Structure 1
Amino acid sequence: ENPYVMRRPNFQALSGNERFEGFCVDMLRELAELLRFRYRLRLVEDGLYGAPEPNGSWTGMVGELINR
């Protein structure tokens, strides 16, 4: 099974969280059902996972979480 989060091959025809698949998506779906929370998956604007910048800020998904 593919790890992490990937867009489904037919993602253009889908909407919301259904556009994504992978181990982390399956795990998140189960956790949300068990713990009763809602979530929305989306791509980060810069398309990066996250790396530190020389000025101390972060890029990507990590940066979005830190700056939230």
Structure 2
Amino acid sequence: MDDAEHWSVGMRCPCGFGDTIELLVAAEAKPRWDVTIDEAHRPTIHPSVRRQKGCRTHFWIRRRRVHWCK
């Protein structure tokens, strides 16, 4: 990410139902996620994403790939 102030990132849930997920990345937010972009422009999100509503899916995104939690 660049030096601009970002407060959230959004994406479609990878479960396939098409819900939009918004993750807070602002330093003062709780819960809060970190997003890093590698040299090939692939995002990594930390910590994992666990949906409490809807599909209730749980996953990591590392280098643009979804890694499902059991």
| Both structures adopt the same fold (TM-score exceeding 0.5) | no
> Larger helix proportion, structure 1 or 2?
1
What interval of TM-score do these two structures reach, taking the shorter chain for normalisation?
A: under 0.3
> Larger strand proportion, structure 1 or 2?
2
Q: Give the alignment's TM-score, normalised by structure 1.
A: 0.25
Larger radius of gyration: 1
